[in-house]
Structure 1
Amino acid sequence: MSVIPPSNPLRESQPHVAPSATDVLPPGTKIDELFERNMTEPYVLQRLSPRVWWVSVTNYTTVFLVGEESVLLFDAPLKRYDGVVSAVSAVTDKPISTIVYSHFHTDHLDDIDRYVQAAQDEGRTLRLVASEQTDAKLAAARSILPRPTQTVSWPNGSFDFEGSRVELHGFEWAAHTEDHAAWLLPSERVVHVPDLISPDQPPFWRFAANERFLFTRDNLDAVDKLEWDHLSGGHGNVGDHGDLAAEQEFIAELLAVCENEVSRNPLEAYVDPELGSHTAWFAKFLETTSAQAADKLREKYGHMYGFESSIRANAEAVTLHLVQYH
């Protein structure tokens, strides 16, 4: 496992630098003033390897690989088309030929029609790649998004992009959504795994709208075991292995606090006929437990970006986990 720097609070002591589209970012280094840059600049662009760049557009992040003839892009985050395309154009005039659907959630795919239309306008057909699991979920949900033109075997498979291997590492038991996976560029030592972690930040609301908190720590471990230097998390800063370890520490602390509160004041303690329904009892149980968790963790993490906005929702997700599983 990765070593957590002594100061943890999600590793704010790491070196932070201004973004560069030309200089490769040293592993373990973060982009400085990221929120302010996201709010004032059309995009934030950072080179991660000789052929891979990371781009952030108002808090949605992804990566793209520049090949010999064209560009491979992961995802098509909603309402970020102009910023992403401008960032790609800042480093190459090669067309975007391939887009990978990282997972089903449409906030990471909602601009795909614009990319498809742009390719058609240029007389090209866009290559859309997804896992078999994502393809199946798109169909099951009757999604209006364009279907993949190519699928990759689930849970482990790969495809070739202009001589570069792109690997799929699907989670056997996924936390975020059933088709959640890590997409690895082994030759570039870059992994793209949106919504697993937001480096440099406490976890987003309910662990990034995590559908099954039960498997979160296993998924973090699975990604940590892969070989890479830089992580793209879909949100937050550029990540590294130490961020996964710091997230594990945060989760362990939150679990311990919630377990203690549930032990002291279990759901049965909230039975109150005057509230009029058992739904009200449960709401009070979650509200009180999450408030206690926030109070316990505020001294260590309270100064961090987004803590107050996320801690109670994250504590509710953990509390639900505690009453649903043993």
Structure 2
Amino acid sequence: MSSSTDRPDWLVEDLGPKGAAFVNLSDFAVPPEESHGSLFLPDRLAKGYHVEEIRDGVYWVSVGWYDCMFVTTGSGVIVLDAPPALGENLLAAIEEVTDEPVTHVIYSHWHADHIGAAAMFGANVQIIAHEKTKELLERFPDPFRPVPTETFSKDATLEVGGVRLELSYKGQNHCEGNIFVHAPAQKVLAAIDIASPAWVTFRDCDSSENLSGWEQAHHQILEYDFDTLISGHVSKLGNRDDVVEGIEYIDDLVRYSREALETIPMEYFHESMDNTYRAAFRAVEENYFAALVNYVTKKTLERTTSNGKRWEERLNGADVLTKHNAFSILEKTRLERTHNGYMRRDGSAPEKFFI
């Protein structure tokens, strides 16, 4: 990966199978231009951020890999999330378009990568979040993520200066307390860490805690009346077609994961296990999951999708990241979905049973 003369001391490259493998830029397919979004816009390159009005006072701010939303109301600015990667550039973006002070901050969820700069708004703002978000921030305090001052359990409406935002919690998905924020008049929806417009979702389905809920949340997005989607990541705004595209990709992973689990027997890898070698069962597990992941990855990437293209031609990073998402969905299928029955006393198992 690098020569010995320019390798920093912290870079570990010699672990072999014990460590994580590095990739090269040449390993990746050329990404579709539709995925670039704000990455190469002159203002983002010059200032470090890009800000644009979506519609009627609703603004989007992007640093290139993290983004968020703010709304001018005439009576103060409402901010949704404060990613530390944006940090004070978010203040600069707001000041670029309005003299109104920030009066309200909404937390989409409790994760520090999305709200870890919220303390910069000071102590006089109202902070609104789901009650689970408050519970988690009280349990794991962080001075940069002030505890919410107002919470709700299912649905709430925030109206400032005649501007209305609808907040809704539909159950655990990416994490507990992750909410939808809808601006109905502007037809803008924020669904953070769910859909990834024009990109494959980051590895392990964006580290989502409940894959069944995360998968369901994509369909819940389509229940809203919106034209523009803010996702929190991936450098670009989305729309309904982007969500539908993401659902097709996830459906492939889910379908092929179940097919792999119902097809590949772990017993195949038991045959090489030496009973005198105490670590052997872990080796069997590693090879079993490698077989599962490779099966799902091959099936997903070789399929001709609904528009006649393969996924690496449609979604940025699909070729190299699909294996990580495949592992996550395989494991969550084992944890969250039926195994088609259970072992019987006589040692037999139902058809398509998996462990």
What TM-score bracket applies, with the shorter chain setting the length? 0.7 to 0.9
Question: Equivalent residue for 2:222?
Answer: 224
Contact 1:302 1:308 in 2 (8 A): yes
1:150 Cα deviation (Å)? Answer: 1.8
Distance 2:301 2:45 in 1: 29
SS at match of 1:36: coil
Distance 2:141 2:90 in 1: 27
CA deviation map 1:232-267 (0-9, x unaligned): 000122111222211111111122222332233133
Distance 2:71 2:89 in 1: 16
Alignment CA distance shift 1:164-1:248 (3 Å): same
Equivalent position amino acid for 2:281 in 1: H
1:33 Cα deviation (Å)? Answer: 4.7
Equivalent position amino acid for 2:204 in 1: R
1:204 aligns with 2:202: yes
1:273 aligns with 2:273: yes
Matching of residues 139-158 of structure 1 within 5 Å: 139-144=138-143, 145-151=145-151, 153-158=152-157
Alignment CA distance shift 1:266-1:323 (3 Å): farther
Of 280-289 and 244-253, deviating more is: 280-289
Match for 1:307 among 308, 318, 337?
A: 318
Alignment CA distance shift 1:56-1:155 (3 Å): same
Distance 2:197 2:75 in 1: 32
1:32 Cα deviation (Å)? Answer: 5.2
Identity value in percent: 21
Distance 2:325 2:36 in 1: 26
Contact 1:137 1:179 in 2 (8 A): no
CA deviation map 1:72-108 (0-9, x unaligned): 1101101311322222222112222221111011110
1:213 Cα deviation (Å)? Answer: 0.8
Question: Equivalent residue for 2:91?
Answer: 85
Matching of residues 24-39 of structure 1 within 5 Å: 33-37=37-41
1:196 Cα deviation (Å)? Answer: 0.6
Question: Equivalent residue for 1:59?
Answer: 65
Question: Equivalent residue for 1:21?
Answer: none
1:98 aligns with 2:104: yes
CA deviation map 1:277-321 (0-9, x unaligned): 433332322223222333333341124422244211100011112
Equivalent position amino acid for 1:313 in 2: H
Question: Equivalent residue for 2:289?
Answer: 286
Of 126-135 and 141-150, deviating more is: 141-150
When Rg is computed on C-alpha atoms for both structures, the one with the higher figure is 2
Matching of residues 115-130 of structure 1 within 5 Å: 115-116=121-122, 125-130=124-129
Of 189-198 and 134-143, deviating more is: 134-143
Distance 1:240 1:182 in 2: 15
1:69 aligns with 2:69: no
Contact 2:67 2:86 in 1 (8 A): no
Question: Equivalent residue for 1:247?
Answer: 246
Match for 1:323 among 330, 334, 340?
A: 334
Equivalent position amino acid for 2:45 in 1: T
SS at match of 1:273: coil
Runs of at least 5 residues in structure 2 that lack an aligned partner in the other structure: 1-31, 303-309, 339-355
* TM-score normalised by L of structure 1: 0.81
Runs of at least 5 residues in structure 1 that lack an aligned partner in the other structure: 1-11, 17-30
CA deviation map 1:167-193 (0-9, x unaligned): 111123x22111111011122211111
Distance 1:195 1:225 in 2: 17
Question: Equivalent residue for 1:184?
Answer: 182
* TM-score normalised by L of structure 2: 0.75
